[in-house]
Structure 1
C-alpha cells in the first residue's frame, strides 16, 4: 500500500482496473425471475435499446444487475447542465454539496423510469420466483426486477464516483468496456435489419476505416478557435490569454444519441396499432429509414440539432460572458455585457455549425454508399462508436500524461 501511495499513477491505474472488473462482472449477473432466452428475444426487437446500450455502457440485450449502465446518470447530468446553461440565479447560488444531492435525486428518478420501461418490455420473459417450493406471483418478479435495476444504476454511479476520485478517466470510463465489446455487433448488425459479414476482406476494410477515422477524429478534436482575452488588472504576460472554442464543441456526444433518437419515433409508431396505418406513420417511417434519401437527411438533421444542444450545454456562452465580467476579462474591441454575449454566441454558432457539418459528412457517407450496398450503412454506427472511444481515450491519455509529469517533477535535484 505504501508503494501505491507513493506512485500515484500506478495507484490510479489499479483502482480503474478494479472498478472495470467489477463493472464487467456486474454485467453478467442475470436478474432473477426472468427467462434469459425470452428476454433476449423481446429486447432484440427494440433496436433503439441495443444502440443505447452501447453508448451508456449498459447491457440491454439480457437484463443484468448493471443493465442500465450510466444511462440515468448521463441523462440527469445533461438535464442539470441544461439548467445551468440557462444561468438561473437559484442554480448559481447552490453549493457543491447541494448540487451533488440534486443530481443524485434526478439520477434516482430517471433510474426508476428507465427500470420500469425496461421491465415493461420484459413482461413476456417474467417467470415466478420459487421460495421454499412455493411460487410467488409474477408481480413479485416484476417489482424485484425494477428494484434490482435501480440498485444497479446507483451502484454504477457509485463506482464511477470512486473512479473519478481514485482512478483514471472519471465516471465516463465505465462506458469503455461496453463500447469495445459492442464494436463487432455495431459493424455486423448496426441497424439490425442490415447485415455486414465479418469475413477477412470485410475485416481488413473495417481495419482501414478504423485507422482513418481515428486519425481524422484526433485531428478534429485538436482544432480550436482561440479568442484573445485582455486582463487590464494584471501586469506582464498574465494580462493576455485566450478563450478556446473547439471545432467539435460537443465532442462525440451527437454520435452517442443520434442513432437512438433516429429510431425511437418509428418504434413508438409501430407499438401503436391506431397510428401504424396513418399518414403520419408513413411519413415518420420515411424520415427514420436509413435506406431512403429522406432518412439520411433526417439523420443529418438530428446530428446537427444534437451538436447545437450539447455544444450549448458544454460551452454555455451566456454564463461564460457573465464569468468573464466577474473576472475582469475582456475581448479586445468588444464591449462587455450584451455585446460580449452576442460575440461569443456568434462564434459558438460558427464553430458548432462547422463541427456539426463535419460530423454529418462522416456519418452520412456510409449511409449514402449503403443505398447501393446495404451492409455499408452499418459503418455509421461503427464510426460513432469509434468516435466515442477516441474521445474517451484522449481524455484518459491527457490525464495520464499530467499525472506522469507531476510524478516526475522535482524542484531540486
Structure 2
C-alpha cells in the first residue's frame, strides 16, 4: 500500500482495473425471477435498447444486476446541465452539496422509470418466486426486478464516482468494456436488418477503416478556436489568455445517442397497433430506414441537432459570458455583457456547425455506400462506437500525461 501511495499513477490504474472488474462481474449476475432464454428473445427484438446499452455501458440483452449501466446518470446529468446552461439565478445560488443531492434525486427518478419500462418488456420472461414452498404472486417478481435494477443503477453511479476520485477516466470509463465488447456486434449486425459477415477480407477493410477514422477523430478533437482574452486586473503575462472553442464542441456525444434516437420513433409506432396501417406510420418508417435517402437525411439532421444541443450544454455560452464579466475578463473590441454573449453564441454556432457537418459526413458516407452494397451501412454504427472509444481513451491519456508530468516538477533543485 505504501508503494501505491507513493506512485499515484500506478494506484489510479489499479483502482480503475478493480472497478472495471466489479462492473463486468455485475453485468454477469442475472436477476432472479426471470427466464434468461425468454428474456433474451424479448429484448433482442428491441434494437434501440441494444444500441442504448452500448452507449450507457449497460447490458440490455439479458437483465442483470447492472443492466441499466450509466443510463439514468447520463440522462440526468444532461438534464441538469441543460438547466444550468440557461443560467437561472436559483441554480447559481445552490451549494455544491445541494447540487449533488438534486442530481442524485434526478438519477434515482430516472432509474425507477427506466427499470419499470425494462420490466414491462420482460413481462413474458417473469416467473413466480417460491418461498418456503409457497409460490409468491407475479407482482412480487415485478417489484423485485425494478428494485434490483434501480439498486444496480445507483451502485454503478457509486462505482463511477469512486473511479473519478481514485482512478482514471472519470465515470465514463465504465462504458469502455461495453463498447469494446460490442464492436464486433456493431459491425456484423449494425441496424439488425443487414448482416455483414466477419470474413477475413471484411475484417481487413474494417481494420483500415478503423485506423482512418481514429486518425480523423483525433485530429478533429485537437482543432480549436482560441479567442484572446484580456485581464486588466492581472499584471504580467497572466493578463493575456485565451478562450478555447473546440471544433467538436460536443465531442462524441452526438454519435453516442444518434442511433438510438433514430430508431425510437419506429419502435413507438410498432408498439401502437392503431398506427400500423396509417399514413403517419409509413412516413415514420421512411425517415427511420437507413436504406432510404430520406432516412439518411434524417440521420444527418439528428446528428446536427444533437451537436447543437450537447454543444450548448457543454460550452454554456450564457453562463460563460456572465462569469467573464464577474471575473473582470473581456474580449478585445467587444463590450462586456450582451455584446459578449452574442459574440460567444455566434462563434459557438460557427464551430458547432462545422464540427457537426464533419460528424455528419463521417456518419452518412457508409449509409450512402450501403444503398448499393448491402451491409456497409453497419459501419455507421461501428464508427459511432469507435468515436465513443476514442473520446474515452483520449480523456484517460490526457489524465495519465498530467499525472506523469507531475513528477517532472520540483520546487527546489
TM-score (norm 2): 0.99
- Answer with 232-241 or 361-370: which moved more: 232-241
SS of residue in 1 equivalent to 2:241? strand
Counterpart in 1 of 2:63?
63
SS of residue in 1 equivalent to 2:376? helix
- Give distance in 2, aligned partners of 1:371 and 1:297: 13
Counterpart in 2 of 1:123?
123
Q: Tell whether 2:15 aligns with 1:15.
A: yes
Counterpart in 2 of 1:227?
227
SS of residue in 1 equivalent to 2:377? helix
Counterpart in 2 of 1:210?
210
Counterpart in 2 of 1:385?
385
- Give distance in 1, aligned partners of 2:214 and 2:405: 25
Does the 8 A contact of 1:321 with 1:344 survive in 2? Answer: yes
Counterpart in 2 of 1:273?
273
Once the two structures are TM-superposed, the CA of residue 407 in structure 1 deviates from its matched residue by 2.7
- Give distance in 2, aligned partners of 1:280 and 1:63: 33
Does the 8 A contact of 1:188 with 1:195 survive in 2? Answer: yes
- Give distance in 1, aligned partners of 2:408 and 2:112: 46
Count of matched residue positions in the alignment of Structure 1 and Structure 2: 413
- Give distance in 2, aligned partners of 1:204 and 1:143: 48
Q: Which runs of 5+ in 1 are unaligned?
A: none
- Give distance in 1, aligned partners of 2:344 and 2:15: 40
Once the two structures are TM-superposed, the CA of residue 133 in structure 1 deviates from its matched residue by 2.4
Counterpart in 2 of 1:335?
335
Counterpart in 2 of 1:294?
294
Q: Tell whether 2:201 aligns with 1:170.
A: no
- Equivalences for residues 343-382 of structure 1 within 5 A: 343-382=343-382
- Equivalences for residues 102-181 of structure 1 within 5 A: 102-181=102-181
Once the two structures are TM-superposed, the CA of residue 410 in structure 1 deviates from its matched residue by 2.4
Q: Which runs of 5+ in 2 are unaligned?
A: none
- Give distance in 2, aligned partners of 1:10 and 1:204: 35
SS of residue in 2 equivalent to 1:290? coil
Once the two structures are TM-superposed, the CA of residue 105 in structure 1 deviates from its matched residue by 0.3
- Give distance in 1, aligned partners of 2:219 and 2:387: 12
Counterpart in 2 of 1:190?
190
- Give distance in 1, aligned partners of 2:3 and 2:256: 39
Counterpart in 2 of 1:402?
402
- Give distance in 2, aligned partners of 1:123 and 1:2: 51
Counterpart in 1 of 2:96?
96
- Give distance in 2, aligned partners of 1:9 and 1:299: 41
Does the 8 A contact of 1:53 with 1:59 survive in 2? Answer: yes
- Answer with 130-139 or 395-404: which moved more: 130-139
Counterpart in 2 of 1:264?
264
TM-score (norm 1): 0.99
- Give distance in 1, aligned partners of 2:140 and 2:236: 70
Does the 8 A contact of 1:223 with 1:246 survive in 2? Answer: yes
Structural RMSD (CA):
0.7
- Give distance in 2, aligned partners of 1:169 and 1:374: 37
Once the two structures are TM-superposed, the CA of residue 375 in structure 1 deviates from its matched residue by 0.4
SS of residue in 2 equivalent to 1:376? coil
- Give distance in 2, aligned partners of 1:89 and 1:352: 27
- Give distance in 2, aligned partners of 1:202 and 1:103: 44
Provide, for residues 246-281 of structure 1, a one-character-per-residue CA deviation record: whole Å limited to 9, x for no partner.
Answer: 000000000000000000000000110111111111
Once the two structures are TM-superposed, the CA of residue 110 in structure 1 deviates from its matched residue by 0.1
Q: Which runs of 4+ in 1 moved over 6 A?
A: none
- Give distance in 2, aligned partners of 1:196 and 1:120: 32
- Give distance in 2, aligned partners of 1:410 and 1:239: 25
Once the two structures are TM-superposed, the CA of residue 233 in structure 1 deviates from its matched residue by 1.4
